[in-house]
Amino acid sequence: MNNKVANPAALGFGVLAIAFWMFSLAHSGLVHPTGIDPGTMQVTMAVATLGLLIAGIMAFLRQEGWSAFFFLLWAGVAWGSSHGMSHEMMGATREFNGWFAIAITLVNLYLWFGAFMDKKLGGAVSLTVLLIWLSLLGLGLSFFFNSVVLERIGGILGLIGAVVAFYVSAGSMCPMNLPGLPKEHNAG
């Protein structure tokens, strides 16, 4: 591990939390889709892209394969969102959106399994990935079944996942050993 590179967890999980929070607001029903400013979402996703890309490179340099893959995967998803590459704008059907969400869900399933089995990552990281996985599963299925209930469940799970990601980010900078975070992820 390259100890000259800062721990990427604070940055990576912080910007992931911001992006997932904003993304999940409309899906949860807390904000009507027409109330979301496209410019604000584009800036949010651009910041998330840059932060996740930097965190992924930092994790790669530290030889943290799981974290590098996780952050770089989400950097790519955020990049597509920040550049207006929504599937609707490209003429995609709801079915295509559903398959895309399911594909990302499957990747997050094995990322969750890896986080769950790797005790070095801590329970809070595993819980974050589990909640993102369940959120995407609900959203993906909502496209297939045209179900507002599944969309709302996915959105609410996304908001909860964002809160846990904020906890991981904050805990990574905290000098205390917080529950669910390994000592190596804390500043102290």
Residue-range domain boundaries for the chain: 9-185
Q: Per-residue pLDDT averaged across 81-103, rounded?
A: 69
Region of 108 (left: φ > 0; alpha: ψ -120 to 50; beta: rest) is alpha
More confident of the two residues 54 and 188: 54
Sign of CA dihedral 161, 68, 66, 178: negative
Q: Is the pLDDT of residue 97 over 90?
A: no
Structure tokens at 31: 């904000």
Q: Per-residue pLDDT averaged across 97-117, rounded?
A: 89
Mean pLDDT of the chain: 86
- 97-102 LR contacts (CB < 8 Å, sep 24+): 97/143, 98/140, 98/141, 98/142, 98/143, 98/144, 99/140, 100/140, 101/136, 101/137, 101/139, 101/140, 101/143, 102/136, 102/137, 102/140, 102/141
Structure tokens at 185: 């992820």
Q: Are 41 and 84 in contact (CB under 8 A)?
A: no
Task: Report the pLDDT value the prediction gives residue 127, as an integer from 0 to 100.
Answer: 94
Residue 111 CA to residue 134 CA, distance in Å, equals: 12
Residue 19 CA to residue 10 CA, distance in Å, equals: 14
Q: Per-residue pLDDT averaged across 54-79, rounded?
A: 93
Kindly report the length of the chain: 188
More confident of the two residues 188 and 156: 156
Model-level pTM greater than 0.85?
Answer: yes
Task: Report the pLDDT value the prediction gives residue 92, as an integer from 0 to 100.
Answer: 63
Task: Report the pLDDT value the prediction gives residue 26, as an integer from 0 to 100.
Answer: 87
Phi first, then psi, for residue 107 (nearest 5°) are -65, -45
Share of the chain above pLDDT 70, in %: 88
Q: Are 45 and 82 in contact (CB under 8 A)?
A: yes
